[in-house]
Structure 1
């Protein structure tokens, strides 16, 4: 009989940190607060110089469960200190925690209970990304953790390769040691990719739980961005490709062909789309290098990789990159990389009527879109917001796509504005679609800016079809004169509103609203500060 997990001290939590004196104590305390199931908290300091080690030493003096290990030199990454922790733990199970994150209450109990009950070598749960300072939380790969699930082997659920995090899981210590599963040493960005691939390659029994077990703090305003956020340099993309390639090879060499192919598909759907959305923010030198690196990596894909789900947006994006030696069609690719994807015009056909990407790339066909379910098509909607005192209007235009929409009979657009930080929604409406002579459908609605209030609002749409199905999408941001301007609008409630429709990194229509004289003054002050830098 296994002891009750809430009574037996079965778990070691490895906390790693480097020059993070401001946050690491909170991380350690969140591990200690998990209760009696935690036998020890092994805090590994990666040779900090800001007082992190001294803080941990003082904390260990008052907390007998805390054990501090100081590395003699800084490793330059997260893998080496975690390996130090793996070597040091004395408990049957181990978890990992980064110094700037926290474990929510009950995390260890939820994972340990599942691991013990199901005799699983690995137990995983839901991680949420908490944006700071707003506190907005976004679940990470929540489809995997919608319900309690037990897998005899990872291949039963290939989508597991999408969750590359190591921190939202509990591992049997002897399982890691038996299979020599470790992180890459030294400076190796995206070390989680490799570690997770090694775990999956070993074929563990897994238990997945719907409980929230990890809070990933996202600090975009930090002086030193985390590796996952610091994507401005081409070395970051090079590292991401190398980590993805290594993960694929680990799975393939272990005979996990289905998981290996899923990992390649994940690169197209996640990595490629994320970085393609941001290409417009980079200079020509970066874009050229990015294009070259991406083409080189994609040449490693085989026919079976391309055959899987050929209508997926990431695959079409990748095919465009492969078909051209130089960067091209970046605005259109950005729209295709959006979530949900938008395939914007022009909708070109070859001489035989086959849909193609463009006339100068006739070999790049779009035939899969002729048979894909309409509710899964990357539909394109243009959105135009014109702020005016007393009469702000939102104009929407839905584009036809090779005759598929006319067959489905688009009837209405369901519209809502979603507050980016709070997640609340406002001004929901269902707008009838009016067909136009140019093969498009249009709709229009007033927008009460004062009712929206201060903050950043994202436009969300559902295209309602005649058979009752719907396709979720967003709107491509545009204005009549090609510019998105900031406007001052009189308001009975606030006196004045400062309104700026704008395009997100993926080209989607959003709007920023500053309310009242104080809100407007803050915007102008921040703008002046940026100009003076």
Structure 2
């Protein structure tokens, strides 16, 4: 049966879930409260055993728009239940919702209005990642949705390959069926990589809208992490590379060479950098397996994949890995994988004097850094925090990069602390940079009012200001020597005591945890002792 938007305007929301009785009702209700545009909520239960199906039956009994489908066997993934939903819908439009997420008010109407007005076969909107329990929201692929756009061919905007989500989009049902656009079945992590590639390969008329249409709830403390967050095992990385390879092949075989190449570049910039930042968290066996598998995967890239912007962080990271049979330079690679990237010393030169990664890897040339604008270079700043009663001291050191920083004339550092949970910025100051005793470095120093910051986790944010008026946003490498990153209690007139924990993030950047008052200090210390006790008991 063919259903066309000229004759009907109804939307089906396919909600999938497995053993998620805690959150399923909120997801279904967020779809129902979109209003009459949603004529049907197809809830697919993937053979849950925790009461999710019974909950859905109760919701369906109270709301005729809810249709419940229970699969007889658990599929092991998200693709099969979504395919079940595609097969079941009878409306001209369909969208997807996971059981632990929600649709914000007005999402469906915004998507549907664009589909009608632009005669679009796919409409995509802004998704935000909501970190729980803090509630902090981070837009996903914000640049794509800064303003509305209509594309007759997706290849006109190669950056589309960066948005691999399937849930922030409204699809014309007939378009999916006519082009056999489906998800991989069974246990297939990152199934939306493949679905998104099949969608782009079919060249839909695509509309982008700046409206927020999806809330992706991220629960890092959950007992069972979602597929995208559970990255501790090498099987996850193998699954991600396989999904990326399949997406590339789909686009290439469809004649979408530009999108296929963009997908490979996206892997370097996103996947490779994200996992490289976390390598220091893994054991030696994982690191060796990861390194070997990554080299095999990157060996499939051709010369053209490396030619564009060879000093982009992801490409440089990939070239070092591909050129090295064994894991090496992991601390430096972790800093390079940061956002924004930091290229930390040493700054080696080859025999002919040209910049290279290291003397023993002279084939990895950094010569393009000599001509790139200084405001896009991966500048490195070291930071060390010295907590004291009253005002603490933050010491900063900026490194030159093959003479480029010196030539630009670094004048000052803008310093600020950003609260990770709340997003607010505090204690913004501008401090002058002065040449340091060590050649090719500049230093700066400023006070930090720890009590004025308040409790929580704080990230250090810096901006290097140059003589010509340009600037470069950077984060700072956390100096770890001389006990700089150890937890300590600091007397405070306002709170009695502060518990201060300077620490290095996964990417090596300086961050700060603060607890206020004797109660806060006692609570954190008690939790620390509890973890130590449980760790000892489990050994």
| TM-score after normalising by structure 2 | 0.97
Question: 2:171 aligns to what SS in structure 1?
Answer: strand
In structure 1, what is the equivalent of residue 458 of structure 2?
A: 457
Alignment of 1:383-402 (within 5 A): 383-402=383-402
Which aligned pairs between 1:189-200 and structure 2 lie closer than 5 A? 189-200=189-200
Aligned residue in 2 for 1:87: 87
Q: Which residue of 1 is the match for residue 239 of structure 2?
A: 239
Write the deviation string for residues 236-269 of structure 1: whole angstroms up to 9, x where unpaired: 0000000000000000000000000000000000
Distance (whole Å) between structure 1 residues aligned to residue 248 and residue 22 of structure 2: 37
Tell me which residue corresponds to 2:537.
none
Deviation at 1:522, TM superposition (A): 1.1
Query: How far apart are the structure 2 equivalents of 1:343 and 1:161?
Result: 27
Query: Which residue of the partner structure matches residue 224 of structure 1?
Result: 224
CA deviation digits over 1:158-197, x for unaligned, max 9? 0000000000000000000000000000000000000000
Q: Is the 8 A contact 2:409 2:466 kept in 1?
A: yes
| 1:512 aligned partner | 513
User: Retained in 2: the 8 A contact 1:80–1:185?
Assistant: yes
Say whether 1:522 aligns with 2:529.
Answer: no
Unmatched segments (≥5 aa) in structure 1: none
Which residue is equivalent to 1:113?
113
Secondary structure of 1:193 counterpart: helix
Secondary structure of the 1:171 match is strand
CA shift for structure 1 position 18: 0.4
In structure 1, what is the Cα distance between the partners aligned to 2:169 and 2:377?
A: 35
Hey, what does 1:34 align to over in structure 2?
34
Task: Give me the whole-angstrom Cα distance separating, in 1, the residues matched to 2:201 and 2:407.
Answer: 46
- Give the stretch that moved more between structures: 100-109 or 436-445: 436-445
Q: Deviations over 1:90-109 (max 9, x none)?
A: 11000000000000000000
Q: Which residue of 2 aligns with 1:435?
A: 435
Give me the whole-angstrom Cα distance separating, in 1, the residues matched to 2:118 and 2:311: 38
What is the rounded CA distance, in whole Å, between the counterparts of 1:94 and 1:3 in structure 2?
A: 12
User: Which residue of the partner structure matches residue 132 of structure 2?
Assistant: 132
State the 1:483 CA deviation: 4.5
Contact 2:27 2:102 in 1 (8 A): yes
Deviations, residues 45-83 of structure 1 (Å, cap 9, x unaligned): 001111111110111001000000011100000000000
Aligned 1:227-376 pairs, distance under 5 A: 227-376=227-376
Q: Give the secondary structure class of the aligned counterpart of 1:481.
A: helix
Matches of 2:308 and 2:120 in 1, distance apart? 31
CA distance in 2 between partners of 1:65 and 1:388 (Å): 61
Mean Cα deviation higher: 449-458 or 428-437: 428-437
How many residue pairs get aligned? The number is 531
In the alignment, which residue of structure 2 is the partner of 1:377? Answer: 377
Is 2:448 aligned against 1:447? yes
- Is contact 2:484-2:502 (8 Å) kept? no
Determine the C-alpha separation between the residues in 2 that align with 1:430 and 1:152. 47
Q: 1:218 to 1:352 in 2, by over 3 A?
A: same
Corresponding residue SS for 2:345: coil
Aligned mates of 1:217, 1:273 — CA distance in 2: 23
Residue 472 (structure 2) aligns with: 471
Cα separation, 2, equivalents of 1:338 and 1:4: 45
Aligned match of 1:62: 62
Native 8 Å contact 2:385 2:484 kept in 1: no
Contact 1:9 1:36 in 2 (8 A): no
Q: Give the drift of 1:486.
A: 0.8
Task: Tell me by how many angstroms 1:146 deviates.
Answer: 0.4
Q: CA deviation at 1:436?
A: 2.1
Q: TM-score, normalised by structure 1?
A: 0.98
Segments ≥4 residues shifted beyond 3 Å: 2-5
How far residue 390 of structure 1 moved from its aligned partner, in angstroms, is: 2.2
Tell me the secondary structure at the aligned position of residue 363 of structure 2.
coil
CA distance in 1: counterparts of 2:334 and 2:484, whole angstroms? 18
Task: Tell me if the contact between 1:13 and 1:94 (Cα under 8 Å) persists in the aligned partners.
Answer: yes
Label 1:359 to 1:481 Cα distance change in 2 as closer, same or farther (>3 A). same
Change in Cα spacing, 1:322 to 1:290, as seen in structure 2 (3 Å) is same
Q: Is the 8 A contact 2:244 2:267 kept in 1?
A: yes
Check conservation: 2:5, 2:92, Cα contact below 8 A: no
Deviation, 1:89, is 0.3
Q: Is the 8 A contact 2:384 2:484 kept in 1?
A: no
Equivalent-residue separation in structure 2 for 1:489 and 1:8 (angstroms): 66
1:184-233 C-alpha deviation (Å, 9 max, x unpaired): 00000000000000000000111111110000000111110000100000
Residue equivalent to 1:177: 177
Given that 2:397 and 2:444 are in contact with CA atoms closer than 8 Å, whether structure 1 keeps it comes out as yes
How far off its partner does 1:433 sit?
0.4
Q: CA deviation at 1:309?
A: 1.7
Cα separation, 1, equivalents of 2:219 and 2:481: 36
3-state SS, counterpart of residue 49 of structure 2: coil
CA distance in 2 between counterparts of 1:384 and 1:311 reads 28
Give the drift of 1:422. Answer: 0.1
| Partners of 1:215 and 1:475 in 2: CA distance | 31
Cα distance in structure 2, aligned partners of 1:503 and 1:316: 23
On the 8 A contact 1:411/1:464 being kept in 2, the answer is yes
- 1:326 counterpart SS class: coil
The worse-fitting range, judged by mean Cα deviation, of 385-394 and 319-328 is 385-394
> Is the contact made by 1:385 and 1:479 (CA closer than 8 Å) also made in structure 2?
no
Q: Is the Cα–Cα contact under 8 Å of residues 8 and 36 in structure 1 kept in the other structure?
A: no
Residue 482 of structure 2 aligns to a residue whose secondary structure is coil
Question: In 1, are the aligned partners of 2:162 and 2:266 still within 8 Å (CA)?
Answer: yes
Secondary structure of 1:353 counterpart: coil
Structure 1 residue 485 displacement after superposition:
1.0
What is the alpha-carbon distance in structure 2 between the residues aligned to residue 3 and residue 377 of structure 1? 51
